[in-house]
A and B are shown apart, each in its own frame.
Chain A
Amino acid sequence: MDLLLVDDSKTMRLLVHRAIRQAGYRSLTVCEAENGADALEKLKSVKPRLILSDWNMPEMSGIDFLRQLRAQNNLTPFGFITSEASKKFKDMAMSHGASFIIVKPFNVDEVQAALDPILGGN
């Protein structure tokens, strides 16, 4: 399994899927979760190469998910796709070990630029 996609919005999961395919990653295997807690549960059985997560989600936010992940010594590369665009949020994400932030609305080029260094191009 290549990618764990975490977002409470089905629409956003659909759009991220579409952008990933358009970025050339057509054979990428993707697992989905609806929030941080659901993602932590899924990570008991899957080992993705990359986690892409929204920030604002019910039950467990993206940043709380990242904190718990790193507390468990899980160093899977982690990126946010979020509408939180301020420097404060970017700094917080990076200080907790995120590799990148993609700000909504995003385009295919931004997704590709974020994924290529981690997934090794398509």
Chain B
Amino acid sequence: MAEPSSSVMTRLFTDLIGHNVSFSDQSRPIMAKSEQLFCLYQIKPMDSSRIIQADMSLLSSFAGALIGLSAEAIKERVAEPQLDESLRDALHEVMNIASRIVSLEHRAVFKGIYADPGSLPTDARNTLRDPCYASYFNVKIDGYDGGTLALLAPF
């Protein structure tokens, strides 16, 4: 699979949220220390699955920055028992737009965000457990919480 480089990821997310974003390559798998989200994409025409796994705090930063929230406001909303509707909608939009870089060769269709990896379809769960391809990134965002993000694919 053609890898989306850290510079491609940096450009897309910087353009998207209007704040400086920096992706740097990590050679080793992410050891998740915080709550994770799993974003599922279907690759056409093969109908295979790819997953973006990332810290919830990082994806919330992308979403909140997109709709003009401060870092403090994002933290307050994420701390609520149920994720605020505007932040949830923005989160979906961010990950929908990210479909552009999930596959550089084929069309990727964003299917949804999962908090529980056990709820993913079987092939996606297999990819998550044993990816044949994986890219790991450390992400920094000016003025917002950064975090880690991984792109996982079955081949």
The residue from A14, A85, A105 contacting B16, defined by CB atoms under 8 A apart: A105
A11 touches B100 (CB 8 A): no
Interface on chain A toward B: helix, strand, loop, or mixed SS? loop
Please tell me if A99 contacts chain B, counting CB pairs below 8 Å. no
Say which one of B29-37, B87-95, B141-149 lies at the interface with A.
B87-95
Near B by CB (< 8 A), chain A positions 1-38 give 9-12, 14-15
A83 to B103, CA, bound (A): 13
Please tell me if A56 contacts chain B, counting CB pairs below 8 Å. yes
A12 touches B93 (CB 8 A): yes
A86 touches B97 (CB 8 A): no
Please tell me if A47 contacts chain B, counting CB pairs below 8 Å. no
The answer to whether residues A83 and B15 also contact, given A10-B86, A11-B66, A15-B66 and a CB cut-off of 8 A, is no
A105 touches B86 (CB 8 A): no
- Size of the B side of the interface (Cβ < 8 Å), in residues, is 16
A103 to B100, CA, bound (A): 10
Please tell me if A104 contacts chain B, counting CB pairs below 8 Å. yes
Residues on the B chain within 8 Å of A9, using CB = 89, 92-93, 96
Interface on chain B toward A: helix, strand, loop, or mixed SS? helix
Please tell me if A122 contacts chain B, counting CB pairs below 8 Å. no
The residue from A10, A83, A85 contacting B96, defined by CB atoms under 8 A apart: A83
Residues on the B chain within 8 Å of A68, using CB = none
Closest to B106 in A: A86
The residue from A10, A85, A107 contacting B100, defined by CB atoms under 8 A apart: A85
A84 to B108, CA, bound (A): 9
Near A by CB (< 8 A), chain B positions 64-97 give 66-67, 86, 89-90, 92-93, 96-97
Closest to A84 in B: B107
B100 touches A83 (CB 8 A): yes
9 tightest CB-CB pairs across the interface, nearest first?
A: A105-B16, A11-B90, A11-B93, A105-B15, A11-B89, A104-B97, A9-B93, A83-B97, A10-B89
Can you name 4 extra interface pairs (CB under 8 A) apart from A9-B93, A83-B99, A103-B100? A10-B86, A83-B97, A105-B15, A107-B15
